[in-house]
A and B are shown apart, each in its own frame.
Chain A
């Protein structure tokens, strides 16, 4: 196997391949930063370009793109509360408050280093797991997916500190919206009111752009001023401070990377779940006293999701390559590129094309690290964006946001969705309702329902299926632990003679 690893690196160390890797990385950075575009759009546009290329070169290009997108996305998430791609919405939760405090440089630096480390840890994990990858993918069926979705919903709702009821309300709203559209299990449309666009449901990315970017711009224009009111702090931004922070919080990085790797390997779950799960678990694991600082600019809240996103990018290759089940839209397009070049994803791919696969993994990792580097280099000029007056910033961001939303698939209804969710998002900011829960509900809602129905069809309606399978038991245990942990903490604190925390979670 070592020769294969080395073969992969060797294949990459040609001028041609490296050039395309760099090209892909810059394109990925750009597409990642602009909301609405993203890895899928970049790969789709590059597909015709890859025709004349050797398969290995096409993989280097694709790897470059996939490695650059998360870094691009985190930059806009931090500076403008505009997630460049959906998973970066988690980065924005603490990243944007940091920018508002004048610490944008710190946040970007931390994100960049978390990106690089997460990518490396993801790679190492993937290389270790690849031989048994197929078996792992086969272990996750509808019952496991359902419990995973429940776990995700539970974790996220337990992080709405002191706002449990509001978290549940927005989560419930998110679930309602997630159910709009054509229902895969029994056929038939729900809540579409005859509108053709809603056949596919409310599209996630336009909704996210509205909830975060547009809402924030509305807020900013009403507030006035600029993103950060702390020019002194912005001016002393240094590249290395973010870097050091990441190393200081190494448990967070490791935790985030591992979560990203595991979630990424599960097909169909996607990057949003990885980043939000990582964020939520980091909040959970924090000391009681620290928990309230999340959402207000805790650097760990940036490091955790960023590490997860990059680790997930690597491991999402596993189900894609081993079975041809894409982990997300980006992977689906990437599969198209593979097939056009004569590489069929499937059990034989891992046998026939080992060198190419390892080359791809190395390309992805290299691009991750390089993109982080570029991010670190640009920290100072980027931080200055937060000093721009809202009169310049708001129209600019709104234009880009709406244009990006339209550009996803050239449908004007996307823009309508963005506008509607922009207003909803602003109201949520104004009345202090958490947006985290609505995102996770939107992402997991439809798949939770579908997997539940499928599990029931598999078991002929018997609920025992959820305790009869090993991974299900594990997940179920996780859910129970998460629900009872706050309670247990409260009780143990009472025993220790201190007052229990004000909210049960």
Chain B
């Protein structure tokens, strides 16, 4: 066998080097993604936002260009602010995305001070599901049968509404909603969780409750709650007045949005890849089936639509800020 000379070595090295370099470049350019993507959930496992991500993330994996995992990661502290701050500070390389609660995060910033993050600067991927609208309901055993009854009560004395703590979305929805509806209210605050404060109305702790439609529907089907008015532009509840009938179109703007975001400065092509994967995941049969069972409308949004939505939400809630900070 001919001896492998130094010259041969140099020759092969000089051929190998550009090949290695090229493959490196190719891998980098060969598109994202090449490793596991983390999906940050700023809340504890088992909650509403957590469940949405856990249903969608594994399906998203199917629609990404390469075979990588999308792993949900719970960062539950500070009412959600820690998770959001963590996402904000992460590298904008497409390997960290997260789910944000709007307007929850606006309210949190108001409560805690706008130090760690700026919601306007996130790179938007899309949204999981259509924003949930609110309705005002009473327990099935309540003497109030129609919205007119409720208004009459409000004229006689402040209506008692059960609600979560001031850092919650339900609090904001209740405050703004009751203002728009022209009700005199007294809030019974401090209930923990989105179900707890609705059960409070069923139990009779409060006169009425303002809650999101999916949560309320659960109890409507069980016959334990009666919807008096819907904040939707066109009521999906038969025989119940909606925002149009009540002459308050702004009610429809009170929503809970589950937006998916990435740290500021994300490259547009990666943004599009993620956005497309999310959209396809939401249209996947398994997700659609699950959504139907849980009264969720799984419509996706483009990054542009999402950015627009956030802008609108910000304007809306800035208008109502003064009511929300009145402790």
Contact = CB atoms under 8 A, between A and B. Distances in A.
Contacts of A411: 77
Contacts of B165: 182-185, 187
A141 interface: yes
A340 B293 CA distance: 10
Contacts of A251: none
Interface string A209-225: 00000000000000000
A505 interface: no
A137 B242 CA distance: 32
Contacts of A141: 200, 203-205
Contacts of A51: 54, 58
Contacts of A439: none
B222 A346 contact: yes
A344 interface: yes
A44 B82 CA distance: 19
A388 interface: no
Contacts of A182: 79, 111, 165, 167
A131 to B, nearest CB: 15
B196 A336 contact: no
B193 interface: yes
Given A185-B165, A347-B223, A47 B45 contact: yes
A182 B327 CA distance: 12
Interface in B288-306: 289-290, 293-294
A17 B188 CA distance: 45
A185 B58 contact: no
Contacts of B76: 409
Interface residues of B, number: 53
Nearest to A197: B77
B51 interface: yes
Contacts of B289: 342
Given A48-B54, A196-B78, A324-B195, A187 B167 contact: yes
B327 A186 contact: yes
B188 A458 contact: yes
Contact of A48 (B58, B190, B218): B58
Interface SS, B side: mixed
Contacts of B55: 340
B181 interface: no
B239 interface: no
Contact of A199 (B51, B79, B186): B79
Given A187-B166, A335-B46, A347-B222, A457 B189 contact: yes
Contacts of A450: 190
B44 A344 contact: no
Contacts of A183: 165
B224 interface: yes
Nearest to B158: A460
B46 A334 contact: yes
B101 to A, nearest CB: 16
29 contacts: A51-B54, A137-B199, A138-B199, A183-B165, A184-B189, A184-B192, A187-B111, A196-B81, A199-B78, A199-B112, A323-B195, A324-B218, A326-B46, A333-B44, A337-B46, A340-B54, A340-B290, A342-B294, A344-B294, A346-B221, A347-B218, A347-B219, A347-B222, A348-B222, A410-B75, A454-B188, A454-B205, A457-B188, A458-B206
- Return the 3 tightest CB-CB contacts between A and B, nearest first: A347-B222, A336-B46, A187-B166
Interface of A: 40, 43-44, 47-48, 51, 137-138, 141-142, 182-188, 196-197, 199-200, 267-268, 323-326, 329, 332-337, 339-340, 342, 344, 346-348, 409-411, 450, 453-454, 457-458
